[in-house]
Amino acid sequence: MDRKKIRFGIQAAATLLQNANFKGFFTGRIYEGASKSVCVPGLNCYSCPGAIGSCPIGSLQSFLSGMKFKFPYYVVGLLIFFGAVLGRAVCGFLCPFGFLQDLIYKIPFYKKNRFKIDKFLRYLKYAVLLVLVIILPMTFKLTPFFCKYVCPDGTIAGIMLAAVDEKVRTVLGPLFSWKVILLCIFIVLGLIVRRPFCKYVCPLGAIYGFFNKIALYRMTHDKNKCINCGACAKACQMNIDPVKTPNSMECIRCGECVDACPKNALHLGFTKGKVELKTGNIEVEK
Amino acid sequence: MKKLISLALCGAMLFAMASCSAVTDETTKKTRDTEQVDDEDGRKNNGDETTADNTTVEVSVSDTTVQVLPTGDIVVFSTTDRNGQTYDNSIFADHELTMINFWEPWCGPCVSEMSDIEKLYEDYKDEGLLVIGVYSETSMESEVDDILSSCKTSYPILTYTIDFDKYQTGYVPTTIFVDKNGNVIDTGSSFEGMDSTLIVGSKSYKEWESLVKRYLGN
């Protein structure tokens, strides 16, 4: 099994597992069991008819926008846990919306990942996190701004609910139209650019990005094996140069650079790789 | 092969988007567990929140069902308000029109329409309007206190009972109108032939007023 197939399998399994309430897709009733109070690692809308867990970004806003302010220890703790263990491997392996974008990108179309404003647009997700997820919900109570006005994952959930529940259809209005337009923009953009939502908008990716440098699941680059051919940077659709920044905040751990390396100089995995690198360095110092 | 699968999946998604199948409500009979207290964490991820003008809906956490009500269904209930005073369906007889508003303290659209509903109650109570607010989230009493005092709510606020199960849609706010004889009023704003006794979503003062005026006979 090659890496691509394994990753595809994990993504599909994670998506199905996190949305295992299949009955909901036909009844339009969201699942309300005990597991719903647990956050899933990826961006998976609580209101998806299949969802058996809750979205960490939604939960975060839910706490921050509460009538009485309560620090969301539980959500923040889980985010730190997922971040410390996996970092943005969550994005590459477990996130259903990331999986959807990967699938969309597979559709043959005009592809362009490198363009000028890409670098600046990357900062947008930090603004989204700060403003839409933290500041606005805390200021205006009971309104999860990111979920309400932006999140395309929620739009998909809304569409699925509306498809089977007439009650939902009666109240679809301008806000829904706006969100469908936004979803369509992400889908069309996703045909051209790899994972545009993850790159520019996702507040969850922004949070996990901070952990990439310290997460247990990490990338190591062996200078002794590297021949500076640049194959890895060329293969990277998140526009990272793994030689310079193997643990970049933008890396979703897809491992396509590892496969592209002709000399096996890149390694992706839990701490094991780190030990190898250390011994490698010691040898160089000798 | 992989391309084929991905195309099929994307196709399925587009299909799901395009379809507006009128699957009739499958009444999976479940009773609302008033004791069920989820952590608030996941409660309000209302990504599917939708609005039409001033109408907003939030997915409710309550485990409930949609039931097609035969018009003329008589509402029977008995529960208490927050001070323990008992209320039951005999209250309908004393009022021309009763509006029962199901809300929750974590629901933004519910809370934001409550001051309008209070105003509506103040303006029309002399003409025979009674408003009853019903919530089930008993684990958020201090939030409820805050909301009621900031909305200056003077109409009765009752605790949820399973008697109300058949008027739940899975969404809050949901509102029903009941006449003097205890019949649920079909407001007639029916959509694709669906039952229109249960009003889903919040409304503006004007929208509520026009409904109230219609059934108060003005």
- For residue A169, what pLDDT band results from cuts at 50, 70 and 90? confident
Q: What is the DSSP string of B53-65?
A: TTEEEEE--S---
- For residue A67, what pLDDT band results from cuts at 50, 70 and 90? confident
Say yes or no: A199 and A237 in one domain.
no
Say yes or no: A187 and A252 in one domain.
no
- Give the closest-approach CA distance of B79 to chain A in angstroms: 24
Decide if B3 and A106 are in contact by the 8 Å CB cutoff.
yes
Q: Choose among A53, A67, A170: nearest Cβ to B200.
A: A170
Decide if A164 and B111 are in contact by the 8 Å CB cutoff.
no
**Which chain B residue's Cα is nearest to A52?**
B42
Residue B44 is predicted with a pLDDT of 40
**Upper half-sphere CA count for residue A121 (Cβ side, 13 Å):** 17
Q: What is the CATH number of the domain that holds A227?
A: 3.30.70.3270
Say yes or no: A197 and A241 in one domain.
no
Task: Give me the mean pLDDT over the A57-63 stretch.
Answer: 95
Residue of A166, A178, A186 to mutate for B, most B C-beta atoms under 10 A: A166
Q: How many CB atoms lie within 10 A of CB B122?
A: 14
Bigger pLDDT: A107 vs B4: A107
**Residue written as token pair 């190591």:** A220
Structural contact between residues B215 and B97, judged by C-beta atoms closer than 8 angstroms: yes
- Grouping H, G, I as helix, E, B as strand and the rest as coil, residue A98 is helix
Decide if B42 and A143 are in contact by the 8 Å CB cutoff.
no
Say yes or no: A44 and A147 in one domain.
yes
Q: A69 — phi, psi (to 5°)?
A: -70, 125
- Give the closest-approach CA distance of A8 to chain B in angstroms: 10
Say yes or no: A188 and A131 in one domain.
yes
Say yes or no: A33 and A58 in one domain.
yes
Q: Pick from A210, A230, A250: which residue ends a domain? A: A210
Query: Taking the model in full, what pTM does it have?
Result: 0.80
| pLDDT surpasses 60 at B17 | no
Say yes or no: A120 and A71 in one domain.
yes
Tally of domains within chain A: 2
Q: Pick from A167, A190, A210: which residue ends a domain? A: A210
- For residue B197, what pLDDT band results from cuts at 50, 70 and 90? confident
Most confident of A32-36, A164-168, A193-197, B178-182: A193-197
Q: A131 — phi, psi (to 5°)?
A: -85, -55
Structural contact between residues A104 and A190, judged by C-beta atoms closer than 8 angstroms: yes
Structural contact between residues A277 and A283, judged by C-beta atoms closer than 8 angstroms: no
Say yes or no: A203 and A260 in one domain.
no
Decide if B10 and A45 are in contact by the 8 Å CB cutoff.
no
Say yes or no: A181 and A265 in one domain.
no
Residue B168 is predicted with a pLDDT of 87
Residue B217 is predicted with a pLDDT of 76
- Give the closest-approach CA distance of A39 to chain B in angstroms: 7
Residue B170 is predicted with a pLDDT of 84
Mean pLDDT of chain B: 75
- For residue A96, what pLDDT band results from cuts at 50, 70 and 90? very high
Decide if A46 and B10 are in contact by the 8 Å CB cutoff.
no
* Fold topology of B50-216: Glutaredoxin (3.40.30)
Long-range pairs of A238-243 with CB within 8 A, sequence gap ≥ 24: A238/A194, A238/A195, A238/A199, A239/A113, A239/A114, A239/A118, A242/A266
Domain range for residue A273?
Answer: 217-285
Q: How many CB atoms lie within 10 A of CB A278?
A: 11
- Residues of A with CB below 8 A from B42's CB? 36-39, 46, 53-55, 58-59, 62
Residue of B3, B50, B60 to mutate for A, most A C-beta atoms under 10 A: B50
Residue B186 is predicted with a pLDDT of 83
- In A, residues 212-251, which contact B (CB 8 Å cutoff)? none
Say yes or no: A225 and A204 in one domain.
no
- For residue A50, what pLDDT band results from cuts at 50, 70 and 90? very high
At A216, list the tokens: 């247990």
Residue B200 is predicted with a pLDDT of 87
pLDDT digits (tens, 9 = 90+) for B26-62: 333 333 333 333 343 434 444 344 334 444 455 544 4
Share of chain A above pLDDT 90, in %: 87
* Strand partners for B9: none
- Residues of A with CB below 8 A from B146's CB? 67-68
- Grouping H, G, I as helix, E, B as strand and the rest as coil, residue B183 is strand
- Between the CA atoms of A166, A167, A169 and A170, what dihedral angle is there, to the nearest 10 degrees? 120
Q: Choose among B7, B43, B143: nearest Cβ to A68.
A: B143
State the sign of the Cα–Cα–Cα–Cα dihedral A125, A126, A131, A135: positive
At B54, list the tokens: 């001033």
Q: Choose among A46, A103, A163: nearest Cβ to B45.
A: A46
Q: Pick from A210, A227, A258: which residue ends a domain? A: A210
Q: B52 — phi, psi (to 5°)?
A: -130, 110
Decide if B106 and A167 are in contact by the 8 Å CB cutoff.
no
At A120, list the tokens: 């600046």
Residue B66 is predicted with a pLDDT of 42
- For residue B8, what pLDDT band results from cuts at 50, 70 and 90? low
- Give the closest-approach CA distance of B108 to chain A in angstroms: 5
Q: What is the DSSP string of A246-281?
A: TT-TT-----HHHHH-TT--EEEESTHHHHHHHHHH
- In A, residues 253-272, which contact B (CB 8 Å cutoff)? none
**Upper half-sphere CA count for residue A9 (Cβ side, 13 Å):** 6
Q: Does A3 touch chain B (CB under 8 A)?
A: no
> Of the candidates A246, A238, A254, A245, which has an alpha carbon nearest to the alpha carbon of residue A273?
A246
**Which chain B residue's Cα is nearest to A151?**
B47
pLDDT digits (tens, 9 = 90+) for B78-130: 999 999 999 999 999 999 999 999 999 999 999 999 999 999 999 999 999 99
| pLDDT surpasses 50 at B22 | no
Q: Choose among A62, A164, A170: nearest Cβ to B44.
A: A62
Say yes or no: A61 and A178 in one domain.
yes
- For residue B156, what pLDDT band results from cuts at 50, 70 and 90? very high
Distance CA B168, CA B173 (A): 10
- Residues of A with CB below 8 A from B17's CB? 159
pLDDT digits (tens, 9 = 90+) for A256-266: 999 999 999 99
H helices present in chain B, as ranges: 2-18, 108-124, 141-150, 205-216
Q: Does A71 touch chain B (CB under 8 A)?
A: no
At A211, list the tokens: 């952990």
Say yes or no: A194 and A238 in one domain.
no
**Which chain A residue's Cα is nearest to B51?**
A173
**Upper half-sphere CA count for residue B104 (Cβ side, 13 Å):** 26
Distance CA B123, CA A271 (A): 69
pLDDT digits (tens, 9 = 90+) for A198-212: 999 999 999 999 999
Long-range pairs of B144-151 with CB within 8 A, sequence gap ≥ 24: B144/B82, B144/B105, B146/A67, B146/A68, B147/A67, B147/B105, B147/B111, B147/B114, B150/B115, B151/B111, B151/B114, B151/B115, B151/B118
Decide if B21 and A163 are in contact by the 8 Å CB cutoff.
yes
Domain ranges of chain B: 50-216
- Residues of A with CB below 8 A from B38's CB? 32, 34, 36-37
Q: Choose among B6, B22, B42: nearest Cβ to A166.
A: B22
H helices present in chain A, as ranges: 3-18, 24-27, 56-64, 73-86, 89, 96-106, 118-121, 124-127, 136-139, 145, 152-164, 166-170, 174-192, 196-200, 203-211, 231-235, 256-260, 272-285
